[in-house]
Chains A and B, each alone.
Chain A
Amino acid sequence: MEFAKVALAATLLAATTAAPALAKNGVERVPTDIDWSAAKIAAKRSLARDPEAVEKFVAATNGTLRTVELPVLIFGSDAKMETPQFANQKSAYVAFYTLEGAQVSILGSHTVLTGTEDLTGHHQAVAYESIGSGADYNLNRYGAHYTIRLTCDNPIKDVRCRKPEFLNSVVQTLLVVNGAAQ
């Protein structure tokens, strides 16, 4: 019996001194609250402003928009892009656009990682950031989070990936289309 106690103590001691990879996490994922009231108003305005883009997209998604748990943002007609491919993961979605020599995704989600207080913000998290092969544009709307990811076949020469103007301009066309609460 004494030996069993020693064995248990050894286990506990070893567990508490184990490698960094076994460190206990306080990290958790929690859903964020969506401001559906604001999103519904924005969706009505979007439909009034750019009915062709909205209706084409809704038709292409075959009713799958109803289960997306966040407002769906897509680019408007002024961005001069075809209707995107769409995938719904309920807590997240993807709208993927193929352009001449470039690709753009709108990647939406509505969860946030908490328990990350050990991370320090040393520099401002700005909307536009280079990712080597292109750039990301990050925004929060209605309580959801969106990353617009752009890549170019030649990210060094293609001005769309070298400078923020292209992403800044297409972000201005964003439309709110739909979501579970609409």
Chain B
Amino acid sequence: MRFISLCLALAFSFSAQADDTSRFMMPGDLIENTGQGVASHAIYFPQMRFPVESGPAYANSHAYAPGGFKGNGGSECDPANYSYPWRDNFCEFRKADLPLCASGGHQGQDIRPATCEASKHWAVAAEDGIVAHVGRFGVTIQSPTGTLYRYVHLDMKTLQVKPMDKIAKGSRIGKISNNWLGPLPIHLHFDAKDTIMLNGEPKAVFLPPYTSLVASYQLIMD
């Protein structure tokens, strides 16, 4: 009886996630005319912890959305920006095209925290590692195997770490804000760089983080 219950519970769980298009649009499905995404379903960082301490959070473009610099006006706090479903924006148009993007150069994923408030919600470490780089706008964590996780637009006054600190997966780094040279919607720019074999040669590239974010988000929310 216990076996049957377990099977049914698992079946229900898988089915529920299969129907999760209400929360997550498909990888590579960018807003129309904003670049050509990467449609891979592979999870490149399966061990990753979701980089925001608690949910809900909303992965979507900060630029091509209400209140964004290419969003045709509106408010960054528009409820549409703080609603499901998530939308991939790796490869979204930027100055230059990335190696893995047919067109577009956004190196990571924009993530809005639960509410439209700066310096309230914590960004946390995706893996154990070292605080490898601290600049004026953000932080890079290097995992023990060399993955570089970058967190940009943090409120650096709230920073809990300094260069060369050891950091544990899930530990607080700093609060998500809109720290930049000019006006910017409140969001975390999160990206991940690693070495892959590309055309037969090892190359350090920014990888699509969307599927890893979906998987890690499900772990903290479901």
**Nearest A-chain residue to B193, judged by Cβ:** A147
Interchain nearest-CB distance for A26 vs B (Å): 7
Chain B residues closer than 8 Å to A14, beta-carbon distance: 10-15, 18
* Per-residue A-contact encoding for B108-143, CB less than 8 Å = 1, 0 else: 000000000000000000000110111111101011
Specify which chain B residues have a CB less than 8 angstroms from the CB of A11 in the assembled complex: 7-8, 10-11, 14
Q: Which of A74-82, A125-133, A168-176 contacts B (4 or more CB under 8 A)?
A: A125-133
- 8 A Cβ contacts from B135-169 to A: 135-138, 140, 142-146, 148, 150, 152, 163-164, 166
| Min distance, Cβ B183 to any Cβ of chain A, angstroms | 14
Of chain A, the residue at the smallest CB distance from B144 is A89
Secondary structure type dominating chain A contacts = mixed
Residues of chain A within 8 A (CB-CB) of B166 are 87
Chain B's interface size range is 35 or more
Main secondary structure of the interface of B (DSSP, over half): mixed
Known contacts A94-B164, A103-B134: A20-B143 contact under CB 8 Å = no
| Alpha-carbon separation in the docked complex, A149 to B137 (Å) | 14
B198 & A92 in contact (Cβ 8 Å cutoff): no
Residue B102 at the A interface, CB < 8 A? Answer: yes
Interface residues on A, range: 35 or more
Q: A7, A103, A146: which has the most chain B beta carbons within 10 Å?
A: A7
Q: Which residue of B lies closest to A3 (CB)?
A: B4
Closest CB of chain A to B220's CB: distance in Å?
Answer: 13
Q: What is A's interface to B at a CB cutoff of 8 Å?
A: 3-4, 7-8, 10-11, 13-15, 17-23, 25-27, 29, 32, 85-87, 89-92, 94, 96, 98, 103, 105, 107-116, 118-125, 129-134, 136, 138, 140, 145-147, 149, 151-156
14 A-B pairs, CB-CB below 8 angstroms? A4-B3, A15-B11, A17-B14, A17-B18, A20-B214, A23-B42, A96-B133, A103-B135, A107-B140, A114-B196, A120-B100, A125-B203, A149-B132, A151-B138
